[in-house]
A and B are shown apart, each in its own frame.
Chain A
Amino acid sequence: MKPLGLRAGPDLGLRISLSVAALLTALTVCLGALAVQAQRSLLLYHAQDAGQVVAALVSQGARLALFAEDRAGLRRELAEALLHDYVLEACALDRSGGLLARVGRAEAAEAACGLGPKPASVLDPPERPGRLEGPDSFTFWAPVLTAVPPGSEDALYYPPEPEPPGAVVGYAAVRFSKAPVREGMHQILVRTALAGIVFLLLGAAVAHRLIRAATRPLRELTETVRARGVPVSEPRDDVSLLRGAYSGLVESLDRAFGDLQSLRQDLEQRVEARTAELREARDRLEERVAERTAQLEETYRQLVHAEKLSATGRLAASVAHEFNNPVFGIRNVLRGLLASPALGTEDRELAEMAVAECDRLRRLVRDLQSFSRPSSGRAEPVDLRRAVDAMVLLCAKEFGRKKIAVEVDFAHDVPPVRGVEDQLKQVVLNLLTNAGDAVGDEGGTVRVRAERRGAEVALRVEDTGRGILPEHRERIFDPFFTTKPAVKGTGLGLSVSYGIVRRHGGRIEVASEPGRGAAFTVTLPIEGASQP
């Protein structure tokens, strides 16, 4: 690689200038030679034309003198030719070539035209003009023709047109010096040489300016290439430098195009991968949306069902209230009968059983009212044993129908917990209901146990039902998650219970094995324990 900035070889503009100069010189020489030759031909043509014109004029003038055989007049006509500066002599000859008259300048060679070749050898045909060229002069010959005399009186009045050529009666010769031709040639050479030099100089100047102007972009480009440091191997001159730079740039461009191509392919692959991921995500999202949509629709149905249950609760509470007064009246009547001494033993026992049933009926009505009564939201000490009993009582009939045995086992040191009683009852009821549902109609056992664990009370509700599938264990506290038929469960029981327990500062845990029942443990802080 050649170091940048190093100039090698002659400048391109200089080389072009030298070539153009050589071309211009050759062109000037050729054109000059052609111009000289053309002007020489023109000069000779004009000289010959002038000579022939003068010879023709002399022959015309000599015609009448020859016609009249007037030698004096003939010399007079010949002398007219000497008015021309370069005419050396003029001669008139008869038809056989004999000299009739001659006039000439003193310095002219004596009788050059008269003693020259015979006119017949010069003029062939004799009616045409002729020319002889000597070393120092041209001699022009012209025949002297007489007109044809009219052959009749008719031709006198109406001569034929054009006039027919007459017979040759003699010849006129005019000898011209070659001096004007030589002088003309000399002037032509001088003028042509001067014109060639001027043309060469002007052409060189113009060519130089044009070449400078034309190669300026090339020089600027070369300087740019050098300034940018484009690596070029062995630049001999500007052109090779540019050629090398151009080749390097082309190679770089090819590489860049290759890189661009690979980048484009990689980008396309990445785009395809991203597109596939997006497509997959979109599919998942669509599935989630479909699932959520189904859940919403299910929730809507359950809400409708819950509204029905709420209305049923309110109706039951109203009916219970209406039951309460008659039951109270019946109990009072029965208490009055029991106070009667006339009542027999069997009747008394029956009356006492009736009173006991009335009490049970009163408790049932109270429980119904308390179930449907809105929560007070006020925390207070709650006896879990009483709450459990009340809820077991509510479920007793259902459990009995399903042949489910309920076992309640409370430790003796279970203290009251702090909470909202009806909310805690709802938790217990939910757990009992789920346990009953898990056991099913084949019968089983539901055990309720409570014990103190430090500052907490643990309430455990376990059943002998079908248990919870592992894939369901993570979702059982989700709202609206249920495995029950739609007519039985809303999917809100455990989630509501979870929320209630959490608000009470406790926690709820589940342990289960499929087919071997489940156990829900609710841990609540005891009354008087500090809240976490």
Chain B
Amino acid sequence: MAQRKTAGRQGHGLAGASALRALRLLVCALAVLALSAVPARAAEILAVLSARLPPYEQALAEFRTQLSRLPAAGPKAIEPHTYTELVLTEAGPQGLARALRDRRPALVLALGRSALLAAAELPQRPPTPLLHLLAPGVPPEVRARPDVTGVDLDVAPAATLAVLRTILPNLRRVGLVYDPQRTGALVDQARAAAREAGLELTALPVGESREVPSRLGELAGRVDLLWLLPDLTVATPDGTASFVQISQRHRVPVLAFSRPYAERGATLTIAAEPGGMAAQAARLARRLLAGESPRRAVPEAPVLLSVTANRAVAAKLGLELVRPASLHFEWLE
């Protein structure tokens, strides 16, 4: 009988413990549901475009699409976000300052180098994360700021040469013209990368643009490919025309760094893939909007590269290009 009572107490005690555990689980579930059901505020994003150009507008649209596809994170990550677009060439630095003051955005997305530099120069209280996209040649002092992060537009010479070796396996000699004041560091990286890739790189310096044709004339016959770098002294319209002229005259292909140069006669271009850069920027934005410090979200190099080849020029030069399977490859008709 006593055993039965003990057993009965023990039974009551076990039942109470089970009920207590069930109650705890219920409370936890309710708490999770309550937290997840808290309505988050939409984030205010200020998109600053360097100019009203299709590449910036397409990148912004892709960024918005990619960001909307990412899962929400943090109290300010609920879609839809509120976007404010501002074109720097139209609004000017004053307009940008007014927008920052009035809109108080959670994130500033700078599309282009001019937009990035203009946004970086403005004092922001409190500091607003600054995310750059399609901005070439980000100055080191800007890159070093704790509130700045983004995706680089420049493709590292090593990556460019690696892709180039894939497309033109028989390539041995590469020549370029550069302004040491502007792209000296980049040429150093290129030299190192060429060495690692087993290529012979001939780089001739110029002091001003009018020297480019003559220097290119010096490279004629000495190289298998002319490499047009993103150099303001070299990649002028006349400089580019000189590259194309030398290319046609000496049947040497020209490698450029942006798709429009293929339209102007360059044989092929190797550049960052815009959609991939927008997706990378969207992921960085999600982290920043989730409250992560920009210091931890370091700038990223472009992951996806794309190759554009001018079919007519390649045919005239008799080039046989190997299409890499892992890259986005486009023939320009």
Contacts and interface: CB of A to CB of B under 8 A. Distances in A.
Given A67-B238, A152-B114, A157 B213 contact: no
A: contact size bracket: 20 to 34
Nearest 8 pairs between A and B by C-beta?
A: A147-B237, A68-B213, A149-B236, A153-B136, A157-B258, A67-B238, A153-B137, A154-B112
A505 interface: no
Contact of A157 (B134, B211, B212): B134
Contacts of B213: 64, 67-68, 70, 73
Contact of A154 (B50, B257, B260): B50
A153 B236 contact: no
A68 B112 contact: no
Interface stretch (A158-166, A343-351, A434-442, A485-493): A158-166
Q: Which of A147, A152, A156, A166 has the most CB of B within 10 A?
A: A156
A68 B214 CA distance: 7
Contacts of B137: 153
B237 A154 contact: no
B230 A153 contact: yes
Interface string B234-255: 0111100110010000000000
Interface string A144-178: 00111110111011111001001000000000000
18 contacts: A63-B238, A64-B245, A70-B213, A70-B214, A148-B237, A149-B232, A150-B236, A152-B50, A152-B232, A154-B112, A154-B135, A156-B235, A157-B153, A157-B230, A157-B260, A158-B258, A159-B237, A166-B237
Contacts of B232: 149-150, 152-153, 156
Contacts of B53: 158, 160
A146 B236 CA distance: 10
A150 to B, nearest CB: 6
A156 B260 CA distance: 10
A70 to B, nearest CB: 7
Given A147-B238, A148-B237, A158-B53, A68 B210 contact: yes
A158 B55 contact: yes
Contacts of A160: 51, 53
B254 to A, nearest CB: 15
Contacts of A156: 136, 230-232, 235, 257-258
Contacts of B114: 152, 154
Contacts of B56: 158
Interface string B259-273: 010000000000100
A45 to B, nearest CB: 31
A69 interface: yes
B209 interface: yes
Nearest to B182: A153
Given A64-B245, A152-B50, A154-B135, 11 more contacts: A67-B210, A68-B213, A68-B214, A147-B237, A149-B236, A149-B238, A153-B137, A153-B230, A157-B258, A157-B271, A166-B237
A158 B136 CA distance: 10
B113 interface: yes
Interface of B: 50-51, 53, 55-56, 112-114, 134-137, 153, 209-214, 230-232, 235-238, 241-242, 245, 257-258, 260, 271
Contacts, number: 82
Contacts of A63: 238, 241
A68 B245 CA distance: 13
A466 B257 CA distance: 167
B272 to A, nearest CB: 10
Interface string A238-276: 000000000000000000000000000000000000000
A157 B242 CA distance: 18
B209 A149 contact: yes
From B51, B53, B235, B237, name the one whose CB has the most chain A CB atoms within 10 angstroms: B237
Interface string A57-72: 0000001100111100
Contacts of B135: 154
Given A154-B112, A156-B136, A158-B258, A69 B210 contact: yes
A40 B139 CA distance: 64
A148 B134 CA distance: 22
Nearest to A152: B114
Contacts of A163: 237
Nearest to A68: B213
A149 B271 CA distance: 21
Contacts of B214: 68, 70
A163 B134 CA distance: 21
A154 B113 contact: yes
Nearest to A156: B230
Q: Tell me which of A146, A159, A166 has the highest count of chain B C-beta atoms within 10 A of its own C-beta.
A: A159
A146 B210 CA distance: 11
Nearest to B233: A149
Contacts of A67: 209-210, 213, 238, 242
A68 B177 CA distance: 15
Nearest to A61: B245
Contacts of A73: 213
A166 to B, nearest CB: 8
A169 to B, nearest CB: 10
A316 B295 CA distance: 181
Nearest to B242: A64
Residue of A70, A148, A154, A163 contacting most chain B CB atoms (<10 Å): A154
B6 to A, nearest CB: 84
Nearest to A65: B213
Q: Which of A63, A67, A146, A163 has the most CB of B within 10 A?
A: A67
Contacts of A149: 209, 232, 236-238
A67 to B, nearest CB: 5
Interface in A28-84: 63-64, 67-70, 73
Interface string A118-161: 00000000000000000000000000001111101110111110
A69 B238 CA distance: 12
B235 A146 contact: no
A63 B213 CA distance: 12
Interface in A164-208: 166
A157 B257 contact: yes
A294 B258 CA distance: 140
B51 A159 contact: no
Given A63-B238, A147-B238, A159 B136 contact: no
A23 to B, nearest CB: 59
A188 B230 CA distance: 57
Contacts of A147: 236-238, 241
Contacts of B212: 68
A157 B232 CA distance: 10
B262 to A, nearest CB: 12
B10 to A, nearest CB: 78
A163 B53 CA distance: 13
Contacts of B50: 152, 154
B124 to A, nearest CB: 22
B34 to A, nearest CB: 48
A147 to B, nearest CB: 3
A35 B56 CA distance: 57
A142 B110 CA distance: 43
A132 to B, nearest CB: 29
B314 to A, nearest CB: 22
Contacts of B136: 153-154, 156-157
Given A64-B242, A68-B214, A152 B113 contact: yes
A309 B136 CA distance: 165
A95 to B, nearest CB: 15
A476 B109 CA distance: 156
A282 B126 CA distance: 140
A154 B134 CA distance: 8
A70 B260 CA distance: 28
A69 B113 CA distance: 33
